[in-house]
Structure 1
Amino acid sequence: MSVFDIIGPIMIGPSSSHTAGAARLGRMAKIIAGESIKSVTINLYGSFAKTYKGHGTDIAIVAGLLGLTEENNDLKDSFEIAKEAGLNFKICEMAKGASHPNTASFDIITESKNIFIEGCSIGGGNIVITRIDDFALNLTGKFNTLIIPHRDMYGTITKVTQRLAEDKVNIANMSVVRKEKGVSALMVVETDQKVSNTCIKKIETINEVNSVSFIPPL
């Protein structure tokens, strides 16, 4: 743990958990969605739901969904910017349903898909993405990260790691979860180096891979 995990990041707003962390949750959701967001329902749980108006949690999350960072002076105007950008959003207070008090979930609609993302703000501006659609995971945004939905077939993981090795990319952490044997799975690969577009395109050519999303460190 570093001193910045304790005192939090440079930011606009009163709270590292409820403002900076909230903005990072929104930004991570935008990156994971991978396409322009047409509309989003933002569900707030626990402490987020109780105090979001006073802490500006809703404003920060919308700012993140627009791609704004927590230190951006435009964060406070995110609702107006969203309206100008054509981003339709709705805030919902949820009475229960999350294990962590500072949890938000996103029901996102893009041009081509619907996607559900859930995460929590754990203090000092740090976040964890805990679910994408039906897949539970633990994504912190501290590493270069590849999110790879794919068919659950033997050899797929080897093919992905081979392409990373060819590009001299070292894997820091890796997890694979699946719905059921032989159907759909999700691979999350955190790396020490940035993954080049060339390497990403090579991974996308793997028959079992549905898509590849790259997330730089937040």
Structure 2
Amino acid sequence: HPNTAVLEVRDAAGRTLTLQAASTGGGRIRVDRLNGVDVSFTGMFNTLVVQHQDIAGKVADVTRALSSAKINIANMSVCRDRRGGDALMVIETDQKVPPVVRVLIGELRGIRSLTYYEKEE
């Protein structure tokens, strides 16, 4: 896409995130890749990006934590590189995901990392 940008950001702990996004017009964007994995989300929702080991029950564990906190999932996708390998959940939510819920999810067995985007009001 002609209006594509690739950003590499690093937090205070030295963790890096590489994001590819395209401007789709009218102030809107579409995120196409995160850390080399094809994704598709717009930033119109609060968004959790959860990198995890591809083992049975991880999606259920994460969605259970959100449900317990009364957070509704607007959109969700799961991708993996291979069975049993690395997987990536992109979860767009109607409500903000409080820090305590993000910490709980991040501490679940098999979760490798969690990135959170909170949409601007």
TM-score scaled by structure 2?
A: 0.90
> What is the match of residue 38 of structure 2?
136
Higher relative contact order (CA 8 A, sep 6+): 2
Q: Equivalent residue of 1:207, what SS?
A: coil
> What is the aligned residue count?
119
Change (3 A) 1:115 1:192: closer
> What is the match of residue 187 of structure 1?
89
> What is the match of residue 45 of structure 1?
none
> What is the match of residue 102 of structure 1?
3
> What is the match of residue 212 of structure 1?
114
Q: CA RMSD in A?
A: 1.5
Equivalent AA in structure 2 for residue 102 of structure 1: N
Moved >6 Å (runs of 4+): none
Looking at CA atoms only, which structure, 1 or 2, has the larger radius of gyration?
Answer: 1
Q: Any gaps of 5 or more consecutive residues in structure 2?
A: none
**1:108 offset after TM fit, Å?**
4.2
User: Structure 1: how far apart are the matches of 2:90 and 2:29?
Assistant: 16
User: Structure 2: how far apart are the matches of 1:108 and 1:199?
Assistant: 23
User: 1 or 2, which has the higher helix percentage?
Assistant: 1
Contact 1:134-1:179 at 8 Å conserved across structures: no
User: Structure 2: how far apart are the matches of 1:194 and 1:126?
Assistant: 20
> What is the match of residue 65 of structure 1?
none
Q: Any gaps of 5 or more consecutive residues in structure 1?
A: 1-99
Which of 50, 63, 82 is equivalent to 1:161?
63
Change (3 A) 1:103 1:150: same
User: Structure 2: how far apart are the matches of 1:109 and 1:168?
Assistant: 31
User: 1 or 2, which has the higher strand percentage?
Assistant: 2
Percent identical residues: 38
Change (3 A) 1:195 1:107: closer
Contact 1:119-1:127 at 8 Å conserved across structures: yes
**1:112 offset after TM fit, Å?**
2.5
Q: Equivalent residue of 1:175, what SS?
A: strand
